[in-house]
Amino acid sequence: MASEAPALIGSSGDSLREAFGKALSGLADEFPKLVVLDADIAGGTGVHHFRKSHPERFLQFGIAEQNMMAAAGGLAAVGLLPVVTTFAVFCLRAVEQARLSLAYCKRNAMIVASHPGLDVGPDGGSAQALEDIAAFRAIPGMTVISPADPIETALATRAILEFDGPVYMRTGRSPARRVFGDDHTFEIGKGRIVRGGNDVTIVACGVEVARAVEAAQVLAEDGIHARVVNMATIKPIDAVLLERCAKETGAIVTAEDHNILGGLGGAVAESLALTYPCPIEFVGVKDVFGASGEPEELAVMFGLGSKSIAEAARRAIARKGRM
Amino acid sequence: MASEAPALIGSSGDSLREAFGKALSGLADEFPKLVVLDADIAGGTGVHHFRKSHPERFLQFGIAEQNMMAAAGGLAAVGLLPVVTTFAVFCLRAVEQARLSLAYCKRNAMIVASHPGLDVGPDGGSAQALEDIAAFRAIPGMTVISPADPIETALATRAILEFDGPVYMRTGRSPARRVFGDDHTFEIGKGRIVRGGNDVTIVACGVEVARAVEAAQVLAEDGIHARVVNMATIKPIDAVLLERCAKETGAIVTAEDHNILGGLGGAVAESLALTYPCPIEFVGVKDVFGASGEPEELAVMFGLGSKSIAEAARRAIARKGRM
Amino acid sequence: MAFAPKAVITSRREAAPPPARDLEQEIALAARFVRQHVIASIYHAGSGHPGGSLSCADILATLFGAELNTWPGSPHDPMRDRFVLSKGHAAPALYAVGAHHGYCDKLASLKLRKFGSPFQGHPHIGDLPWVETSTGSLGQGFSVALGMAMGLKLQNSSARVYALLGDGELQEGEVWEGAMCAAHHKLDNFCAIIDYNKLQSDARNDEIMRLEPLAAKWRAFDWAVAEIDGHDVSALLKTFRRAGATHDRPSVIIAHTVKGKGVPYMENMPAWHGSVKLTREQADDALTALGATHKEIREYLDGV
Amino acid sequence: MAFAPKAVITSRREAAPPPARDLEQEIALAARFVRQHVIASIYHAGSGHPGGSLSCADILATLFGAELNTWPGSPHDPMRDRFVLSKGHAAPALYAVGAHHGYCDKLASLKLRKFGSPFQGHPHIGDLPWVETSTGSLGQGFSVALGMAMGLKLQNSSARVYALLGDGELQEGEVWEGAMCAAHHKLDNFCAIIDYNKLQSDARNDEIMRLEPLAAKWRAFDWAVAEIDGHDVSALLKTFRRAGATHDRPSVIIAHTVKGKGVPYMENMPAWHGSVKLTREQADDALTALGATHKEIREYLDGV
Ligand SMILES: Cc1ncc(C[n+]2csc(CCOP(=O)(O)OP(=O)(O)O)c2C)c(N)n1
Ligand SMILES: Cc1ncc(C[n+]2csc(CCOP(=O)(O)OP(=O)(O)O)c2C)c(N)n1
Ligand SMILES: [Mg+2]
Ligand SMILES: [Mg+2]
């Protein structure tokens, strides 16, 4: 029937935003102070689930991200546990509010951003945030997280509610591949080796973790054993694990759905420069804007696909010991 | 007489903002399309000079940075050459506007931010932007500049007006030490060796260049020959010069009045990870907010002073060949 | 309606003859084309915002059909009027009206939101030079348009600037910054049109964030305000003419519209705001309701 | 004045007796102390914003002297009212009124803007727990206060929230986002006070960015609006009481003030807005004008 409600795009049960939205509803009883802030985009961020399950704790701010972000500071100040939700690109509208009214005040407030990077797909370049990790990472005391799959997103949702201090967490728009089983655990600040190998380490976050695993499988066919690290916490970065990987594998690839400047790649480069400098290749969007298209297609065209990661791994390996 | 106009603070002829403001006035005739945008802070950013000399090209937007930033896109669209001016921390209010309406549209529009970092002094932590380089560096196609002294600021002012594409440039609030003579030249994208040496390279920008030179002098007394590079363009970074310095000196220190995460240090670490990985030590604010105080005093207390740079240099040298 | 009295007649529009009946008919036909094209392109894209594209079809058709001094062949003419689609998610409607008037190809512009196509989910000047500025983040287009109006005035141009905003978009503080600024600078070459369809992303404005009394807000921000039926082409034409003659103040036209206008099953339904997927049957029904023949429907849906 | 009729009496303030004459005198004395302390602390700091600190002294003295249910000994009491200095550059006035009421030490708070002192150039909750939120970036304090009001209401608290804004601050779009939001959510426990001193950083509001008709703007955003003389303590007291009894709507008090009030050579002079350095002679003159004795002046200026 033509008059039926339309199908929501890209929010199958396996998108990170859906996993986040459902997890939030499930956790609401356990966290009675939890309130969810929306800027007229609940259907997009996954928190329509929470609106339905806990309407009295769902706070509507309209299309006004600055006010929403700063108001979260006030809600936290009176003892509530606010979770600010919008698209990643619109979080960039409220960077200064997150800085002053959340981070500077050390508020227990969480920012959860859906629609990061090229994963946004057909909405196109204007909507594909490639800068958010860099911008939020630079705010003193702000923790930055980008989980890899729906299971991890659900775990991370609980972890940030239990966490003390402001957090910026990315989810994702498009159906995501599963990386982890039901036995997965998550801890803020800890990277995890998801695949062993000693020739090179691929450090990835978000949608790039699944692609990194795929790249490692391809490399394995050529006898190259790539280690894959899921670096779900970008700040504070797991410097100990990075140092170990650099020592053990001698070359690093970073992979993220973000500009290659200032994001996960930057965090890894900074960390290793302090502990164990080694060749790094960066997989990410190369300082250009995105475009409309399907996420997988865009990933390939902009050099974020598993093939690009595998090529970067070969380059990194080739540079070992060449200094 | 008590009723005399009050003395303006910190804007002696030798602050970068004053140098910028005066340069802008001086260039107005040569650049007839130049218009200057202000958000009620002209006395602070140095463009009161321009307001006086060219009132008809001075555009007042009131205390409304978002509208000002995006409107610059419109002014550029109709053939004018807009220079957006405010404090660095308030540029963070308009990151998304700079992204979409300037960078994504490839507008010829310049953002010039005064009051960056601890150099802000007594206004305190809320006003001391430690995130702006990271945030603007992550915007695709945005050029990022932070000149070192008044002479260079004047040259950089001309350079950005001649440049094609959006630029984010930092000036400074407090009286700045001279680093260069009247014969100095400036080119966007080029780092410059301001002092020779082969034991370590200190890569600095903004106020930290003068402190780096001072650190090198102190180190020289101990027989350590530190090279000092003025990396006035943070993006695009001078990868060729960095590689050469890394090869020739084997260890790097970065120094900036910014969070150690994502700024100049991040840019240098990313660049060298690709070309010539080597030990790097980062001098900057260590992911905490600033505080009120005098700039020189704050520099010492937050580890940005010449002593901290010299210590970082010793640490970097000690790490050479220890991998 | 509260436009300032026409103390001084400056607009070149003053001299133009009153709109002819057949102009109105032409515009109505163009609007019908826009609506059909919107449905077809969103059908092919598999995503896109139909509701807010349909509500502004008559406004766009009127602007491009009669009001804007723009010429498809010379998108860089400094004398041209500027139009900014501040509610950038209505891109399909902009592409459609552009296609109708020769700014872009009709068939090509059905290739919406696809990789490699210049017809992105939100209008991008980097892909289409006749798009005056890239939009998609609500509030910004309005400020950019304001900057254009200011810059044109500074250069003594007689070109005018038009910005089309959504009602939900008015919740962005940036719009009120711009409203204050445009009035302060007396930008009477600037005209904002509000596509007042009473719905935004998730629900009615009233539920999400009340906008009323809306005309009072704009008056208090010192704009000349007109309130009209945004589907009444004749009213649109007259109101644009008045706005063009307003002196010393920017003009806002609050155009009351119906979200999803023309497609009965979409009208006034928030669910059809969002980025939705149209089934073949839905697209067929919509095109039928919009007066397309069987042959046209086949061309729209199969001919691409 | 246009507060809603008091249909339902809910405020605990209703029960309180009308303000006594001596309360007004107490407040006037407190305001005088605030002004003197502001001058002294800015003199010692060598920078700071005197104009906007002096203009709001009576407002702050009234709030802290009579209106706010807050107690210096228990800055974390969940039942307390909240006050947010959204115009954070008036920090010296906040510290002064805090010192007067025992929230901080009088002598210590003269050590303004110095390294190691908790009395930063802009108020910071990390340094002073009785500062409800850090401010300094205009527009934000208002939103934070709104969040507090919303959160208190959600938790059925009867505590009220007050935010003091500058007039120039109203140019920030964030304020109008918040204005729309507070009205939509019927935050009648929220009261904004505008320190309407007609000046901002560089010049008069009228020159920089016209705000008038200001009351009409707030009315169009659906707030209960009162306009009073912001130096008239009796009017302030009455208006706060009315605001406390307003139902279903947030209240705004447009308090007409004089920038630099109390120091003749500063009054209405834009130059004294900014971060300025006071000479010994200027400080002396100012304190004399503010009624300090020679002995007091010496204590203020030399006793630190
Ligand atoms: C700054 C910003 N925040 C959020 C969005 C997401 N968004 C896209 S359309 C929309 C609703 C817009 O409603 P309205 O302005 O009424 O548009 P219309 O009804 O005409 O489609 C929202 C919230 C956006 N594009 N920009
Ligand atoms: C977002 C932001 N932009 C700019 C400034 C710089 N600034 C500090 S005070 C001021 C003028 C404020 O004027 P007003 O609000 O009228 O304050 P008052 O007259 O009461 O001092 C400005 C522009 C700021 N603090 N915050
Ligand atoms: Mg709408
Ligand atoms: Mg003022």
Active-site residue among B18, B65, B152, B281? B65
Average pLDDT over residues D193-222: 97
Q: Which two tokens stand for residue D186?
A: 């019927």
Task: Give the CATH number, domain containing residue D104.
Answer: 3.40.50.970
Rounded to an integer, what distance in angstroms lies between the CA atom of residue C44 and that of residue B17?
Answer: 53
Angle among Cα A288, B277, A237 to the nearest 5 degrees reads 70
Residue whose tokens read 């009496």? D9
Query: For position B82, what pLDDT does the model report?
Result: 98
Query: For position A233, what pLDDT does the model report?
Result: 98
Domain interval for residue A226: 192-317
Identify the band that residue A3 occupies on the pLDDT scale cut at 50, 70 and 90. very low
Residues of D in contact with B8 (CB under 8 A): 274, 276
Identify the band that residue C7 occupies on the pLDDT scale cut at 50, 70 and 90. very low
Average pLDDT over residues A38-51: 97
Strand runs labelled E in A196-249: 200-204, 226-230, 233-235
Is the pLDDT score of C3 beyond 90?
Answer: no
- Does the residue B323 lie in any domain? no
The answer to whether residues B88 and B38 belong to one domain is yes
> In what side-by-side order are the strands of the sheet with A226-230?
A192-195, A226-230, A200-204, A252-259, A280-285
Long-range contacts of B96-99 (CB under 8 A, 24+ apart): B96/A89, B96/A90, B96/A92, B96/A93, B96/C137, B96/C140, B97/A93, B97/B66, B97/B69, B97/B70, B97/B73, B97/C140, B97/C143, B97/C174, B98/B69, B98/B136, B98/B139, B98/B142, B98/B166, B98/B168, B99/A89, B99/A92, B99/A131, B99/B139
Identify the band that residue A17 occupies on the pLDDT scale cut at 50, 70 and 90. very high
The yes-or-no answer on residue A30 being catalytic is no
CB atoms within 10 A of CB D7: 10
The answer to whether residues B248 and B297 belong to one domain is yes
Task: Give the CATH number, domain containing residue A271.
Answer: 3.40.50.920
Identify the CA nearest to A285 among candidates B105, B143, B140.
B140
Mean pLDDT (chain A, rounded) = 95
The answer to whether residues B165 and B210 belong to one domain is no
The answer to whether residues A18 and A152 belong to one domain is yes
Task: Give the CATH number, domain containing residue A44.
Answer: 3.40.50.970
Domain final position from A151, A177, A203: A177
Q: Which of C172, C175, C217 sits opposite D220 (nearest CB)?
A: C217
The answer to whether residues B123 and B21 belong to one domain is yes
Residues of A in contact with B95 (CB under 8 A): 92-93, 95, 131, 135
The answer to whether residues A172 and A201 belong to one domain is no
Angle among Cα C197, C198, C202 to the nearest 5 degrees reads 110
Tell me the CA–centroid distance for residue B88 and ligand 2, in Å: 15
Residue whose tokens read 């935050």? D187
The answer to whether residues A26 and A171 belong to one domain is yes
Q: What percent of chain D has pLDDT over 90?
A: 88
> In what side-by-side order are the strands of the sheet with B280-285?
B192-195, B226-230, B200-204, B252-259, B280-285
Identify the CA nearest to C203 among candidates C287, C278, C259.
C259
- Does the residue D6 lie in any domain? no
Residue whose tokens read 């995105």? A290
Q: Compare all CA atoms of chain C with the CA of D215 and give the residue at the minimum distance.
A: C220
Is the pLDDT score of A159 beyond 80?
Answer: yes
Query: For position C271, what pLDDT does the model report?
Result: 85
The answer to whether residues B148 and B98 belong to one domain is yes
The answer to whether residues A136 and A69 belong to one domain is yes
Handedness of CA A235, A236, A242, A243 (dihedral sign): positive
Domain interval for residue D256: 25-302
End-to-end Cα spacing for chain C = 45
Residues of B in contact with C124 (CB under 8 A): 104
Residue whose tokens read 């991040």? B266
Is the pLDDT score of D196 beyond 70?
Answer: yes
Average pLDDT over residues D214-219: 98
D52-72 pLDDT, tens per residue? 999 999 999 999 999 999 999
- Does the residue B8 lie in any domain? no
Rounded to an integer, what distance in angstroms lies between the CA atom of residue B124 and that of residue A186?
Answer: 37
Rounded to an integer, what distance in angstroms lies between the CA atom of residue C243 and that of residue C162?
Answer: 11
CB contact under 8 A, B67 and C133: no
Identify the band that residue D303 occupies on the pLDDT scale cut at 50, 70 and 90. confident
Q: Is D200 in the pocket of ligand 2 (CB under 6 A)?
A: yes
CB atoms within 10 A of CB B160: 22
- Does the residue B172 lie in any domain? yes
Q: Give the number of the atom of ligand 2 that is nearest the alpha carbon of residue D167.
A: 16
| Amino acid residing at C179 | A
* Contacts (Cβ under 8 Å, ≥6 apart) of D162: D63, D67, D68, D81, D82, D83, D84, D145, D191, D192, D193
| Weakest-pLDDT range from B199-208, C246-255, D2-11 | D2-11
Query: For position B318, what pLDDT does the model report?
Result: 97
Identify the band that residue C303 occupies on the pLDDT scale cut at 50, 70 and 90. confident
Residues of C in contact with B103 (CB under 8 A): none
Q: Which two tokens stand for residue B215?
A: 């650190």
C33-83 pLDDT, tens per residue? 999 999 999 999 999 999 999 999 999 999 999 999 999 999 999 999 999
Number of helices (H), then strands (E), belonging to chain A: the values are: 13, 13
Query: For position B135, what pLDDT does the model report?
Result: 98
Q: Which of B100, B141, B263 sits opposite A126 (nearest CB)?
A: B100
| Amino acid residing at C86 | S
Q: What's the half-sphere exposure (Cβ side, CA atoms, 13 Å) at B146?
A: 32
Asked if B277 and A285 touch (Cβ cutoff 8 Å), the reply is no
Distances (CA, A) of D169 to A32, B251, C73: 36, 48, 45
Total number of domains constituting chain A: 2
The answer to whether residues B154 and B220 belong to one domain is no
Identify the CA nearest to B5 among candidates D276, D301, D49.
D276
DSSP state of D5: P
Identify the band that residue D9 occupies on the pLDDT scale cut at 50, 70 and 90. very low
Identify the band that residue D274 occupies on the pLDDT scale cut at 50, 70 and 90. confident
Identify the band that residue C24 occupies on the pLDDT scale cut at 50, 70 and 90. very high
- Does the residue B6 lie in any domain? no
- Does the residue D1 lie in any domain? no
- Does the residue C107 lie in any domain? yes
Is the pLDDT score of A1 beyond 50?
Answer: no
Query: For position D269, what pLDDT does the model report?
Result: 87
Is the pLDDT score of C184 beyond 80?
Answer: yes
Asked if D98 and D91 touch (Cβ cutoff 8 Å), the reply is no
C107-147 pLDDT, tens per residue? 999 999 999 999 999 999 999 999 999 999 999 999 999 99
Tell me the CA–centroid distance for residue D139 and ligand 2, in Å: 9
- Structure pTM? 0.96
Q: Under an 8 Å CB criterion, which residues of B touch D?
A: 1-10, 40-44, 48, 60-64, 66-67, 89-90, 93, 121-127, 289, 291-294, 297-298, 301
A245-303 pLDDT, tens per residue? 999 999 999 999 999 999 999 999 999 999 999 999 999 999 999 999 999 999 999 99
CB contact under 8 A, D168 and B60: no
Instruction: Using CB atoms within 10 Å of the CB of residue B294, give its burial: 0 to 12 exposed, 13 to 18 middle, 19+ buried.
Output: middle
Query: For position B232, what pLDDT does the model report?
Result: 98
Identify the band that residue A5 occupies on the pLDDT scale cut at 50, 70 and 90. low
Domain final position from B177, B209, B232: B177
Rounded to an integer, what distance in angstroms lies between the CA atom of residue A218 and that of residue A79?
Answer: 50
**Residue C12, helix vs strand vs coil:** helix
CB pairs under 8 A between B and D: 131
CB contact under 8 A, D209 and B60: yes
Q: What percent of chain A has pLDDT over 90?
A: 94
Q: Which two tokens stand for residue C297?
A: 């429907």
- Does the residue B7 lie in any domain? no
Is the pLDDT score of C283 beyond 90?
Answer: yes
Q: Give the number of the atom of ligand 2 that is nearest the alpha carbon of residue D200.
A: 13
Instruction: Using CB atoms within 10 Å of the CB of residue B106, give its burial: 0 to 12 exposed, 13 to 18 middle, 19+ buried.
Output: middle
- Does the residue D49 lie in any domain? yes
How would you write the pLDDT of chain B (323 residues) with one tens digit per residue? Answer: 344 555 544 455 689 999 999 999 999 999 999 999 999 999 999 999 999 999 999 999 999 999 999 999 999 999 999 999 999 999 999 999 999 999 999 999 999 999 999 999 999 999 999 999 999 999 999 999 999 999 999 999 999 999 999 999 999 999 999 999 999 999 999 999 999 999 999 999 999 999 999 999 999 999 999 999 999 999 999 999 999 999 999 999 999 999 999 999 999 999 999 999 999 999 999 999 999 999 999 999 999 999 999 999 999 999 997 65
Rounded to an integer, what distance in angstroms lies between the CA atom of residue A50 and that of residue A44?
Answer: 13
Query: For position C17, what pLDDT does the model report?
Result: 56
Query: For position C2, what pLDDT does the model report?
Result: 33
Q: Compare all CA atoms of chain C with the CA of D220 and give the residue at the minimum distance.
A: C217
Query: For position B4, what pLDDT does the model report?
Result: 56
Query: For position B9, what pLDDT does the model report?
Result: 47
The answer to whether residues B202 and B173 belong to one domain is no
Q: How far B71 CA sits from the closest chain D CA (Å)?
A: 14
Query: For position D19, what pLDDT does the model report?
Result: 59
Query: For position A10, what pLDDT does the model report?
Result: 46
Query: For position A12, what pLDDT does the model report?
Result: 55
Identify the CA nearest to C217 among candidates C255, C257, C185, C254.
C254
Total number of domains constituting chain C: 1
Identify the CA nearest to C153 among candidates A20, A118, B56.
B56
- Does the residue C18 lie in any domain? no
Q: Which of C114, C135, C137 sits opposite A292 (nearest CB)?
A: C114
The answer to whether residues A172 and A27 belong to one domain is yes
Q: Which of B60, B123, B291 sits opposite D208 (nearest CB)?
A: B60
